[in-house]
Amino acid sequence: MEYLIFDTESCTGHADDGSLCSLGYVIADENFNVIKRDDILINPLPSKFFVGDKKHAKQTGITFAYSIEEFRRSPRFDALYDKIANLFKDRLALGFSIVNDLRYLNDACVKYSLPIINYKFLDVQYIYKLIHPEENAVGLKILCEKYGCEYLAHRADEDAFATLTLLKKILDEKAIDLHTLLLKYGVVLGTNDTEGYVLNYSYSVIKKEFGLKPSNKVLLSIYSDFVKNLIPEKNKTIFCFSHKTERKYPDRLLSMIDYIYKKGFCFTKEVDSCDFLITTDNEEIENPKAITFEEFERKTGFNQNYLFNDEKLLELYYLKPVKHDDYTQKKQN
């Protein structure tokens, strides 16, 4: 199997305006030996650069390796589409924090009414986070400094080569090959196609193995979707969570709701409709319905060892594709 390690640059930082101005790549064999490397410059659609030029360098902290004139002398994306699409054929794509790269590329396809390029991908940043879940600062620059990888930032082929070098060092550090690592953590490859994109996810995260767990953002999203279809019944005691409780204990919410219904009670997100509002221990809230966690436990018999199996909900969440217009609509709204 060959790998396509790629990175992109945008002249505005937006993924809804045809701003793709560079796609750099490295093609490597199954042992990560470099076969080919290049940086494809693209004349972007926006009339002005707001990222990468000298005028905005102080504001953005980004300076491209090429002049604006070099980008403007380059072909438009539609003239380069076949060349770019062929790079992904029969190769596994690799990137670092890859979501913006695939968004810029998808946006360019949409702007020129060209087919979305289908491929599977693996995010090296995601792999690093699985191995080092305790670390928060995991940008390419920081990790390259950590592992001694030198590169010229914001030149796309340099970023791509740095990503490849970084991946090799991460694997060497753990004395493991990529295939074995993916099997160990149950990593599912990301996909990009006409339906949208699905990012990498791990069954070790879903099953909470190796000290891994879903992010609070994911847990809150699942919770929000779960309670949408809950309809409180009349003549039953109804519980509700305060906003602070939702934010502080996202890993407990579904277990508590499941227990509430098992005991014949009901739940709602509407404070005005509930009988009891479950609050955090130190939360100051003026509401006669407010009760603490301890009071909730006494009223219902709930024990914090009671766990709801959320694996299926997590899998459905990770499998849900992001449509190609979802992120542009969110920006416009």
Residue 132 lies in a domain: yes
Handedness of CA 174, 176, 181, 184 (dihedral sign): negative
Q: Tell me, yes or no, whether 176 and 205 share the same domain.
A: yes
Q: pLDDT tens for residues 37-50?
A: 999 999 999 999 99
CA angle, 86 as apex, 127 and 44 as ends, to 5°?
85
CATH number of the domain that 247 lies in?
3.40.50
Return d(Cα 269, Cα 274) in angstroms, integer: 8
CA angle, 206 as apex, 205 and 207 as ends, to 5°?
90
Q: Tell me, yes or no, whether 30 and 114 share the same domain.
A: yes
Structure tokens at 246: 């939702």
Residue 311 lies in a domain: no
Residue 326 pLDDT: 58
Q: Tell me, yes or no, whether 192 and 233 share the same domain.
A: no
Residues 6+ apart with CB under 8 A from 263: 300, 301
Q: Tell me, yes or no, whether 162 and 290 share the same domain.
A: no
Q: Tell me, yes or no, whether 77 and 138 share the same domain.
A: yes
Residue 320 lies in a domain: no
Q: Tell me, yes or no, whether 50 and 151 share the same domain.
A: yes
Residue 324 lies in a domain: no
Residue 333 pLDDT: 34
Return d(Cα 280, Cα 293) in angstroms, integer: 7
Residue 137 pLDDT: 78
Q: pLDDT tens for residues 187-221?
A: 999 999 999 999 999 999 999 999 999 999 999 99
CATH number of the domain that 47 lies in?
3.30.420.10
Q: pLDDT tens for residues 101-119?
A: 999 999 999 999 999 999 9
Q: Tell me, yes or no, whether 17 and 164 share the same domain.
A: yes
Return d(Cα 53, Cα 49) in angstroms, integer: 7
Last residue of a domain, one of 213, 242, 269: 213
Category of 264 on φ-ψ map: left (φ > 0), alpha (ψ -120 to 50) or beta: left
Query: For each of the chain's 333 residues, which pLDDT tens digit applies?
Result: 899 999 999 999 999 999 999 999 999 999 999 999 999 999 999 999 998 777 777 777 888 889 999 999 999 999 999 999 999 999 999 999 999 999 999 999 999 999 999 999 999 999 999 999 999 879 999 999 999 998 888 899 999 999 999 999 999 999 999 999 999 999 999 999 999 999 999 999 999 999 999 999 999 999 999 998 888 888 899 999 999 999 988 999 999 999 999 999 999 999 999 999 999 877 878 889 999 989 999 999 999 899 999 999 999 999 999 987 655 444 433
Last residue of a domain, one of 196, 213, 230: 213
Question: For strand 196-198 and strand 187-188, is the pairing parallel, antiparallel, or unpaired?
Answer: unpaired
Q: Tell me, yes or no, whether 65 and 31 share the same domain.
A: yes
> Do residues 318 and 280 lie in contact, with contact meaning Cβ atoms separated by under 8 Å?
no
What's the pTM value of the predicted model, to 2 decimals? 0.89
Q: Tell me, yes or no, whether 22 and 57 share the same domain.
A: yes
CB-based contacts of 281-289 (< 8 A; 24+ apart in sequence): 283/242, 283/244, 283/245, 285/242, 289/240
Residue 315 lies in a domain: no
Among the listed residues 57, 68, 61, the one whose alpha carbon sits nearest the alpha carbon of residue 21: 68
Q: At what angle do helices 216-227 and 311-319 cross, to 10 degrees?
A: 100
Containing structural domain, residue 291: 216-300
Q: Tell me, yes or no, whether 149 and 29 share the same domain.
A: yes
Residue 329 pLDDT: 44
Q: Tell me, yes or no, whether 148 and 33 share the same domain.
A: yes
> What is the dihedral angle through the alpha carbons of 283, 286, 290, 291, rounded to the nearest 10 degrees?
50
Last residue of a domain, one of 156, 180, 213: 213
Total domains, the chain:
2
Tell me the CA end-to-end span of the chain in Å, nearest whole number.
42
Return d(Cα 117, Cα 41) in angstroms, integer: 18
Residue 319 lies in a domain: no
Residues 6+ apart with CB under 8 A from 97: 123, 125, 139, 140
Other beta carbons less than 10 A from residue 261's beta carbon: 13
